[in-house]
Amino acid sequence: MGSVVWATANNSSSLEGFLECLQSHSELSNPISAVLYTPENSSYSSVLQSYIRNLRFNESTTPKPQLILTALHVSHIQAAIVSAKMHGLQMKIRSGGHDYEGVSYASDVPFFILDMFNFRSINVNIENETAWVETGATLDEVFYRIAEKSNVHGFPAGVCPTVGFGGHFGGGGYGNLMRKYGLSIDNIIDAQIIDVNGRILDRASMGGDLFWAITGGGGSSFGVVLAYKIKLVRVPTTVIVFRVARTYEENLTNIVYRYQQVAHKLPEELFIRMSLDVVNSSVRTGEKTNRATFWTLFLGDSEKLLSHE
């Protein structure tokens, strides 16, 4: 997820005051002190660095959060929202996935991190072909829980297993099933969010505009999404996966051109994505060459795939 910014209060408020505010707005039955990490805490650095994917944002000169809150309970999130408003401290929401731009753990103004990695519950209902997924879960966890219940269901999301569910949905989400089933957000049917006033809302109570905003409009400045309800999709019991790579010396130029002409005309069960990189040439020693790699998923068996030649 992105950041939530409330800067109406005095940004010079002390960290001590912010901590006191968190304590006073949290439930006694779910003490917030156990999940607070300040720079004086011995675990602060390890907690901060555990989900920093881009080391450029882990330099000694990189501005660090004044606090990391690894929420375990909804009340912790509500306390964070109220306290951020009162003390004018920017809140960065981190779901623990692939934030290579530092949006969820770096800032040019005083800030703290609300870390959602503990919110990773996944409840799959095969009878209704739906699942509730908390935003701290990763894609591999979601795929695994679906596969536990069914070998004919899946979900159209990314191919990298460690992508965080919250950030993936905040940006729209796409993967190898997109030609047949669309983006990830096209398969969201409900959500739970804590708004700026600390209220827990679902799709009906948040309204259409806010629901749209948290399903691909970007995760910034709308609130803290707790979970999404997703619609599962049907997949064949047998699928075909393969990869083909070609270099410049192997007619790459013509193959890429041909790919651009036909990829969008292929059956929707056949998804081919292309990646380009530079590798050592196997023909010219000591030189580099261009390479195109075609990653393919076909929803069906080999006989059906070959019929589309």
**What is the DSSP code string of 146-195?**
HHHH-SSEE----S-TT-BHHHHHHT----TTHHHH--GGGGEEEEEEE-
Measured CA to CA in angstroms, residue 251 lies from 214, 242, 247, 254 at distances of 44, 20, 7, 6
For the domain covering 122-234, report its CATH number: 3.30.465.10
Residue 6: what pLDDT?
Answer: 43
Among the residues of 39-138, which ranges form H helices?
Answer: 44-49, 74-87
Please give the model's pTM, rounded to 2 decimal places. Answer: 0.87
The pLDDT value given to residue 309: 66
In the CATH hierarchy, which top-level class contains the domain 3-115?
alpha beta
Cα gap 262→201, rounded to integer Å: 44
pLDDT at 220: 63
Question: For position 2, what pLDDT does the model report?
Answer: 43
Give me the pLDDT at residue 95, please.
Answer: 84
With a cut of 50, which residues of the chain have pLDDT below it? 1-13
Rg over CA atoms, the chain: 23
* Token output for 162: 């460690």
**Sign of torsion over alpha carbons 22, 28, 29, 35:** positive
pLDDT at position 219, please?
54
Element (DSSP H or E) covering residue 92 = strand 90-94
CB-based burial of residue 96 (10 Å sphere; 0-12 exposed, 13-18 middle, 19+ buried)?
buried
